[in-house]
Chain A
């Protein structure tokens, strides 16, 4: 597709260069630090599951025990596998249980002992990451056996709090036309520093993300995919304090898309910026490996800031998400960059402005599966007006070739959707898709016209802001309230205590495999290691 907005390629190139300049120091920081959640993710990938009698996961117990005795500057793997080999524990679970009773003398091994620990740890992680590779292949197989839905994919949310209620609702939504089911998490899970265990039936405004809930829902949707003859994708949230662990569980249970923004937790959940960026890099390496499409959260900026004034902050955040995503190994086809239809409908030409913004994003990221979010801020109790606004959102989505449409509910802002709200919303999008689905090919904004000028204005403002961020540093920009108005200092927010500087000799067998694996050669290497792991 050629450009319809006559964007200046030199300006686009400059925007990407500035995003890279702003992002590089953050990547350096992420490469020289680890977090408690990254280390717990390593243990989860190695197969450690379950929780103690208080419901605290064994991965937390083990990481905490290692941190108290040897520290985590060398990573959890070296002392943990050394203790397994030298202490006669036959599994990570047995080790974790003994460690939680203070019965394990951890150390940082040296020489041959260190080599032995590294070999054992690498084998365990190769086995775990092999499962992620197998899931990726299995997804492809299921898509071939059923069918890939046509775009835009229709994205629907379920959120009952009870996984056993979510399942029939999700299956019903898929039968009614949803291509993607997102299970909203319980409010507050993002600020839990552990991942709950097991199937859960109690949640607040959402359902806990747990490995068992993931497994149950994916199995149900596999059944529905076969019934419908199209592959229904499952989405959850790799965000908050346990981002790397949830990403790992998503890979292990074949989730298909994950909400995973580079700054959302910082701005909207007051999670420490350093913690977020370090966790994010590891989680994106997992997503890259698992073939998971990430969804970024730029739509959120427009719920606090004005959607016209702050349009360029969306583009800036998308460029940052693209930079961080690609650095972590994600392909363009895995970058579900987000944006939203949130301009006040009372603003003159509001629909033209929405078209300009949506088309700009489409052209800046031609190969990304863009995720377009419906109006929320200007949805009122007037459900009839809301239904009309949602139809215009759907129309803008098909005209500008958006890839993923989150379906707007006319009762947005009143309650969690009724069954009938969802049905009407699907009727709305089906009508627009069937009536105007091919309008995109004929949508060519007039050269020099309002839409073209607006797009180039937003791009220009984005470059201006990126230049400022690149000069003063991203952490300073976040502290100044550049995104979503909120000010978040680099040493504020939750989770900073879980950030640890890496020592020389830091060892993370998962990162080794993931970083080597960006490409076919890496995948081969991982397979070879898997065979070693399996033969032990």
Chain B
């Protein structure tokens, strides 16, 4: 097998072995029902490309559902040359480096307005990024001497966010969205970027939440998306990179404020 093509690894190179689990809405009571349920699980596994497949565990959950664990072999090949990744376009900086860069590149404090918008009341994410306490051992943005943080908290209406960002002279707006039911995080993000575009003056728009796909920034009309596990240091480094470009840095040529998002 060429170095660029791989298969799942169970215990031997190229064996293609994988494990999956799922529930089917089928009963698992009588002997007949059990046989039918396992047959149904086998059928799904085979259709998913597991061949041979082995149902190693089946358990009835209440009268109407059965849970399965299935092992099997897939014949699919993974071509590593076709894998694309979004690499971080900015260098990770220490808080001291971020402060220095803002001082020299911007010449004043960088203003960040943060909020949870829409009905989302889960401020845990935005607080973990903004509060001094931070998370994962990294202090939040309030800790940075050259960053001024205005945390508007939860359930901020988009027009209020736009008005407050203007009043505070925000360089960047950070919005956190945790709730994803009925794709509320997507529609809220689009509504927000459209509102800033309509208002004319558009700060750097950054959105974060565990269920965002970081490659969707253009679709949502924002400048940057941070996904699950983002630390305050990453956000601070990005803000410094985008808003306070150092001379000779590739970002020095990049427009900090993108215009005309298609929302």
Contact = CB atoms under 8 A, between A and B. Distances in A.
Interface residues of B, number: 27
B143 interface: no
B90 interface: no
A269 B133 contact: no
Nearest to A422: B61
B127 A420 contact: no
Given A305-B133, A420-B23, A485 B127 contact: yes
A204 B181 contact: yes
Interface residues of A, number: 26
Interface string B10-39: 000000000001110000000000000000
B128 interface: yes
B62 A188 contact: no
B212 interface: no
Interface in B120-157: 120-124, 127-128, 131-133, 153-155
A199 to B, nearest CB: 19
Contacts of A187: 119-122, 179
Contacts of A191: 121, 154-155
Given A188-B121, A420-B23, A205 B62 contact: no
A486 B127 contact: yes
Interface string A401-436: 000000000000100001110011000000000000
B59 A413 contact: no
Interface string A164-207: 00000000100110000000001110110000000000011100
B105 interface: no
A35 B124 CA distance: 28
B18 to A, nearest CB: 15
Given A304-B124, A486-B131, A270 B153 contact: yes
Contacts of A424: 67
Contacts of A413: 210
A268 B116 CA distance: 12
Contacts of B128: 304
A485 B22 CA distance: 40
Given A191-B121, A305-B133, A423 B182 contact: no
B184 interface: yes
A486 B130 CA distance: 11
Contacts of A305: 133
Given A304-B124, A304-B128, A420-B21, A176 B62 contact: yes
Nearest to A310: B133
B132 A485 contact: yes
Contact of B67 (A175, A269, A270, A420): A420
A155 to B, nearest CB: 19
A161 interface: yes
Nearest to A206: B181
Given A191-B154, A485-B132, A420 B119 contact: no
A423 B61 contact: yes
B67 A188 contact: no
Given A187-B120, A188-B119, A268-B123, A419 B179 contact: no
Contact of A423 (B67, B119, B127, B133): B67
A303 to B, nearest CB: 6
Contacts of B155: 188, 191
Contacts of A205: 179, 181
B119 A175 contact: no
A418 B61 CA distance: 12
A190 B153 CA distance: 14
B26 to A, nearest CB: 13
Interface string B91-134: 00000000000000000000000000001111110011001110
Nearest to A485: B133
A205 B184 CA distance: 10
B137 to A, nearest CB: 10
Most central of A161, A175, A485 by chain B CB within 10 Å:
A485
Interface string A304-344: 11000000000000000000000000000000000000000
A203 B23 CA distance: 25
Contacts of B122: 187
A420 B131 CA distance: 36
A486 B153 CA distance: 10
Contacts of B127: 304, 485-486
B147 to A, nearest CB: 17
A204 B119 contact: yes
B120 A188 contact: yes
Given A161-B181, A204-B181, A205-B179, A419 B119 contact: no
A176 B122 CA distance: 30
Interface in A136-178: 161, 172, 175-176
Nearest to B120: A187
Interface string A285-309: 0000000000000000001110000
A417 to B, nearest CB: 12
Contact of B131 (A161, A190, A485): A485
Given A176-B61, A304-B133, A423-B59, A269 B154 contact: yes
A204 B183 CA distance: 10
A486 B133 CA distance: 9
A270 B124 CA distance: 12
A303 B127 CA distance: 11
Contacts of A418: 23
A204 to B, nearest CB: 5
Contacts of B154: 191, 269-270
A10 to B, nearest CB: 33
Interface of A: 161, 172, 175-176, 186-188, 190-191, 203-205, 268-270, 303-305, 413, 418-420, 423-424, 485-486
30 contacts: A161-B181, A172-B62, A175-B62, A187-B119, A187-B121, A187-B122, A187-B179, A188-B119, A188-B121, A188-B155, A203-B181, A204-B184, A269-B121, A270-B123, A270-B153, A304-B127, A304-B128, A304-B131, A419-B67, A420-B21, A420-B22, A420-B23, A420-B61, A420-B67, A423-B59, A423-B61, A424-B67, A485-B132, A485-B133, A486-B127
Interface of B: 21-23, 59, 61-62, 65, 67, 119-124, 127-128, 131-133, 153-155, 179, 181-182, 184, 210
Interchain residue pairs A-B with the least CB separation, the first 7: A188-B119, A270-B153, A420-B67, A485-B133, A423-B61, A420-B23, A205-B179
